[in-house]
Structures are given as C-alpha cells and as structure tokens.
Amino acid sequence: MAAPIAARDVSHRVARRPLLLCFSHLRWDFVYQRPQHLMTLAASDYEIWFIEEPVFETAGEPRLERRAVADHITAIVPVLAAAERALRIPRVQRKLLDRLLRAERRHPDVLWYYTPMALEFTNHLSADLCVYDNMDELSAFRHAPARLLELEQAVFARCDLVFCGGRSLYEAKRRRHPYVHAFPSSIDRAHFAQARSSPADPPDQRQIAHPRLGYFGVIDERMDLDLVAELAQSRPSWQFILLGPTAKIDAASLPRRPNLHWLGQRSYEALPSYLAHWDIGIMPFALNDATRYISPTKTPEFLAAGVPVVSAPIRDVVLPYGERGLVEIAHDSADWIACIESLLVRPHRSWLADADAFLADMSWRATWRSMHALMIGAARRRATRFAVPPPLIEPAIGSA
C-alpha cells in the first residue's frame, strides 16, 4: 500500500502534471490497441511514462532509452546486457528507474500495471493510486513467465482498482478484489468510419481480386491457422488478406497459397484504407486457453468501418455481438463458408443501422472518463483512510 501523500515532500512537483507510470508488456510501436488508446487520453490529465519490457544488446552499460511518442507521453525502454543473469535483471531495472526518478525529481502519483511482472522492480515504489488494467489473461499465453500468476496475486493485493478488458475476464476476476470493474474493448469510431468514405486502395492490395476477406491484428497462437488454410483451399477464388505482425509463432508455419496474402504490420493510421476495400472481415480465432477470455478490439472496429464480420465463437464476441446479429458466429469450416457466402450477397443497410446504433455510446474517451472517475473515487477513499489532503489527481476532475 502506498504511503499517504502527506508523508512526502511534494513542493517540487506542485506545479507539474501528476506523473503516471505505465508498465506494459506491449511496446508502444506494436499494434495500436488498448494501452495506447487509454494512455493517449490519460495524457490530458497526467504526464505518462510508458515503461516497456527490456531489450538486450551484446555490449554497453545498462541504460534507459527515452523518446517522446505523443504529447505528454514518453516511452522508456531498458537496454540491458544480453549476458545479464535473469535473477539480476529486476534489480538493474529498479536501479535505472530509481535513478531516472531522482534525476527528474519526480515521484509517481499513479502506478498503472498491464503486466504483473513489473512488480519485480517496482514493489518498493509508493504512489497515491495503484491500478491494474487486466486486459488479457497473460498466464494463458505462450511463453508466459513462470512467476506471472504469483505476481498477479501480489498486484491484486497492492492495487486500489482493477479494470478488466472483457466481460468473461471480469467474471473470472471479480471476486479477487473489492473494486473490480469491467471495461471491454471500445472504439475510435471516427477513425474507422473513414473506411466508409472509400479512401484509395493501398498499393499492396490494389491488384488483389475480390471477394476479399480481411483480418488485422497480431498473428500468434490465438489464430486458427488450420482453419485459415482449409478455407483458402476450399474457396480458391476468395482472397484472404491478413495484416499484422507475427508473434510467438514461426512465420514459416503460416499456410501458403496463392489466395493467402500475408501483408505484415500496417500502421493504425492506414487501417481504414485497407478495410474500405474488404468485402468481409474475419476473426478466425482458435478456441484455446489463450482465447478463453479475450475481448477482441477489432470487433467494434470492423463494425465502425462498415465491414460485415464472421467470427469464431469467442465468448465476448458471441455476447453481445453474436446474439444481436451484428457478427456472424461460425463453429466449423462448413459454418464459415455458409456465413461468408450469405454475407457476400446480403444487403447491408439494415445491418449497418443496427451496428451504428449499438456503437453510438461506445468510445475510448467514454471509457477513460469512467475509469478516471473511479480513480478519483479510489483516491478519495485512500485520502479518507489516511486522513490526509486529497491527492494530486484531484484537479483533473473537470477534464474527466
């Protein structure tokens, strides 16, 4: 539990924005998703240090590399020696972070965790508020660290608030902390709605025939590659366009056929121009431990772009999108083919109106406002408990 703010000298930081340290397992320049959306909005109220996992080099002294990635957001990457022993890595990270805080004469006001592993080098830090944004069940992912579950329990014991990135994840975690809140994937509607204005077809897909079936996102153990291969073989005239980086699987294992187009990662800014020229969106997820609790952000993004979608029966897609008829749910390859064939000939006007009505109240900005209101409430609870003045995030109430 962090020390009360009255116990600290804050004279040097009163005029500054409060500092939020975000510890992420995802890099800022990776696929643009929940952490980037929320931290970009949080930067209206806080100075953000987005602290990534280490990279390793063969020579050189340990250091932190910093770069400004957006207004009031600095990405920080520990650069460590490849020969560093695993047991020492958290100690080196702790020393580097402490040195930076001293040099900048800063003290964190909020600790925001995406990865419990960061607790190994931050357990000594105090702050006015500690938040765990549990966006995925990381322990179920391939190559998950052995201590992840142990450290997650420690994060639950320490934090003031827990946010869960989906309804099913919330159901699994809600009894582990008195203040757990569900915040499923949201949407930047204006960004993806650009796809409806028919922007120019990107050069790397311009020569690909129709119908086009598209996927965007990380390509890893959560994707059913056997299903993708089977669909491509069954319908050689259908063109499958898959955007995104490959992670935790060998790129050589990706199925190869003339109608499978693995185009690699594309920027968040470029996505609407790709989606504008797809006939169907596909979410061919495998049903495994890694997908049990996912709430794919691309579900509402496809809808905002006006692209009809077929998905595997992921629980957080079935409820609410499948049950409302906004996404077609396919259970096997025959289902997939039937759903796609139906969508290729079905008029979209009625579906699009229903999709827009569903998305009307959804936005990352609304998500952040709700989160921030809970943060302010939690900070007030702490201030009352310690009988000290309200913490420094209080002035941000008006901008929430």
Has residue 36 got a pLDDT over 50? yes
Question: Which of 67-81, 142-156, 174-188, 297-311 shows the lowest mean pLDDT across its residues?
Answer: 142-156
Q: 394 and 298: one domain?
A: no
Q: 75 and 217: one domain?
A: no
Angle between helices 333-345 and 225-234 (to 10 degrees): 60
Has residue 389 got a pLDDT over 90? no
Q: 156 and 263: one domain?
A: no
Q: 161 and 229: one domain?
A: no
Q: 157 and 219: one domain?
A: no
Among candidate residues 165, 115, 102, the one with its CA nearest the CA of residue 144: 115
**CB atoms near residue 273 (< 10 Å):** 18
Question: Phi/psi of residue 3, each to 5°?
Answer: -70, 150
Has residue 140 got a pLDDT over 80? no
Q: 380 and 314: one domain?
A: no
Q: What is the pLDDT of residues 74-102, one digit of tens each?
A: 999 999 988 777 778 999 999 999 999 99
Q: Are 328 and 342 in contact (CB under 8 A)?
A: yes
Cα(12)–Cα(366) distance, integer angstroms = 33
The arithmetic mean of pLDDT across residues 54-83, rounded, is 93
Instruction: Please give the full DSSP string across 215-248, using - where no structure is assigned.
Output: EES-BSTTB-HHHHHHHHHH-TTSEEEEES-B-S
CATH number, position 144: 3.40.50.2000
Q: 87 and 180: one domain?
A: yes
pLDDT higher for 320 or 397? 320
Q: 11 and 91: one domain?
A: yes
Q: 168 and 230: one domain?
A: no
**CB atoms near residue 256 (< 10 Å):** 9
Q: What is the pLDDT of residue 235?
A: 97
Q: What is the pLDDT of residues 230-277, one digit of tens each?
A: 999 999 999 999 999 998 888 888 999 999 999 999 999 999 999 999
Q: Are 302 and 309 in contact (CB under 8 A)?
A: yes
Q: 302 and 371: one domain?
A: no
Has residue 390 got a pLDDT over 70? no
Q: 155 and 62: one domain?
A: yes
The arithmetic mean of pLDDT across residues 15-28, rounded, is 92
Has residue 14 got a pLDDT over 60? no
Enter the tokens of residue 43.
């930067």
Q: What is the pLDDT of residue 15?
A: 56
Q: 227 and 274: one domain?
A: yes
Residue 10: exposed, middle, or buried by beta-carbon count in 10 A (0-12, 13-18, 19+)? middle
pTM (predicted TM-score): 0.89
Q: What's the number of domains the chain is made of?
A: 2
- Look up the domain containing 219 and give its range: 189-359
Cα(394)–Cα(388) distance, integer angstroms = 13
The residue whose two tokens read 């409806």 is 196
Q: What is the pLDDT of residue 8?
A: 34
Q: What is the pLDDT of residue 398?
A: 32
The mean pLDDT value of the chain amounts to 90
With H, G, I as helix, E, B as strand and everything else as coil, classify residue 187.
coil
Has residue 283 got a pLDDT over 60? yes
Q: What is the pLDDT of residue 126?
A: 92
